[in-house]
Amino acid sequence: MPPILKKIIAVAVLLLLVNVGFAWYGQANYEATLKSLGKAFVDDNTTGKLQSKSEADLPSAIARHIGFSDPKHKAYRAIALQFDGTYSIKADKPMKMHTLTLLRPTPDMLWGVRLDPNPLITFNAIETCHTGRATMQTLLFGIIPMAKLEGAEFARSELARLLAYSLFNPSLLKCACIHYKMIDTNHTMAMIEDGNLTASVTFSNDEQGRIVEVSSQERVRSIKKKLYPASWRMRILSYKEVEGVRLPATIEECWVEKDGRTFPYARYALTSATFL
């Protein structure tokens, strides 16, 4: 083997080992940060207990969903959800995705995601939603800051997403901070208040009464680090029982383009749900 080729191979192996070591350290740092934030999220009670509505005061579709998904056998401080699936910035380039989502019976959320576009590169993001504010930090290898999203526009968008995720969080659906309006027998509009911030979504149910889609006109989409108003849909493709309650099992999230076509950017499945 020519000496120059040996040197090229040696440098390539060294770079690979450095990359693997750096990625391992970054992921360990990301997981430690997420674990610390998760503990604080579960233990924190500064939001306080919000007033709840009785099921008799709720629209039929919402009351029916709560009847299937509310763990009446115990109260919970938070729900820890894990999902596996794919995430796409471009339709032909899906990335492996793993997410951890923590929700409380109040308008609060902690969300962590790992994206693997290939075996050598890993992206992470950590998002917090609390008291009408939202911040998302994206990281390369779990340690190198890439971008940060925040501000009132982003907070409203994420409050709408948090409201959609209340399908996993039945106690939030009963919160007095949410105001409902039936559009027709298959559609219910919901508006959530969190301090001075509001956001709304529309829940759609099928003929059997199952909520199968949530949509919002108040999301924003990040394109090249800029935020643009966007229409959004979350489709519930199936449900399953977890700890004796029925929760969404397979989910698809889509951006709705101006011409009406949908771009499904995330497809994922629920792998675990723990009531804490």
Tokens for 1? 């083997």
N-term to C-term CA, the chain: 60
Mean pLDDT of all residues in 148-161? 95
For the chain, the maximum distance between any two Cα atoms, rounded to a whole number of angstroms, is 81
Mean pLDDT of all residues in 185-208? 94
Between 264 and 8, residue with greater pLDDT? 264
Average pLDDT, the chain: 85
> How many Å apart are CA 83 and CA 165, to the nearest integer?
13
> How many Å apart are CA 206 and CA 186, to the nearest integer?
7
Which residues, at least 6 apart from 85, have a Cβ–Cβ distance to it below 8 Å? 97, 266, 267, 268, 269
Query: Which of 45-59, 64-78, 142-156, 174-188 has the lowest average pLDDT?
Result: 45-59
- Residue 118 — pLDDT band, cuts 50, 70, 90? confident
Q: Considering Cα of 249, then 255, then 260, then 262, what sign does the dihedral take?
A: negative
Q: Report the pLDDT value the prediction gives residue 71, as an integer from 0 to 100.
A: 75
Indicate if the pLDDT at residue 136 is higher than 80: yes
CATH number at residue 37: 2.50.20
Indicate if the pLDDT at residue 209 is higher than 90: no
Tokens for 83? 């999902």
Indicate if the pLDDT at residue 6 is higher than 60: no
Between 271 and 70, residue with greater pLDDT? 271
Between 122 and 203, residue with greater pLDDT? 203
pLDDT cut 90: percent of the chain above it: 55
DSSP codes, 56-99: GGS-HHHHHHHHHH--TT---S-EEEEEEEEEESSTT-EEEEEE
Mean pLDDT of all residues in 96-125? 91
> In terms of residue numbers, what domain contains 257?
3-275
Q: Report the pLDDT value the prediction gives residue 221, as an integer from 0 to 100.
A: 94
- Residue 8 — pLDDT band, cuts 50, 70, 90? very low
pLDDT cut 70: percent of the chain above it: 86
Alpha helices in 70-226 (DSSP H): 152-164, 170-173
pTM of the full predicted structure?
0.88
H or E segment and range at residue 176: none
Q: Coil, strand or helix: which one is 204? A: strand
Specify the DSSP class assigned to residue 49. Answer: P
Mean pLDDT of all residues in 258-276? 93
Number of domains in the chain: 1
